[in-house]
Amino acid sequence: MTNASKPTTAQIPPCGSLTVMFDGACPLCRREVGLYRALEPLQPLEWLDVSAETTTFADPQDRSRFMARFHVRRADGKLLSGAQAFVALWLQLPGWRWLGRAASFPGATALLELLYVCFLRIRPLLKRTAMACERT
């Protein structure tokens, strides 16, 4: 991802560890983030719902970019997305650290990224199904 295509935002709060950006309008994302938030992380985490109207962005297109893929911003300001973002988060969470560590094996993060891209293709269908289940 080139610097020109990287999403930027004015509302990502400073954090000692990670800022986790998630699509709170997606029932799948809400459930997964709920599981993560119930855990006591190694370092403080900030949670930013990028779908919230109160979240503002420097570039209006950033909202859709952040909602299209999972992102975290490290304490040093580096933005990670997809599998790299999940790995960074998992390394901070009890019960998930083993998966973050397993991703350090050669090719593991690339395989996770491939699986994540496949998931993103079916996410709209899964999201609609989850939303329909929530209404009943």
- Indicate whether 6 pLDDT > 50: no
Cα 41 to Cα 44: distance, rounded to the nearest angstrom: 6
117 secondary structure, DSSP code: H
3-class state of residue 134 by DSSP: helix
pTM of the prediction?
0.82
pLDDT in tens, 80-132: 999 999 999 999 999 999 999 999 899 999 999 999 999 999 988 888 888 77
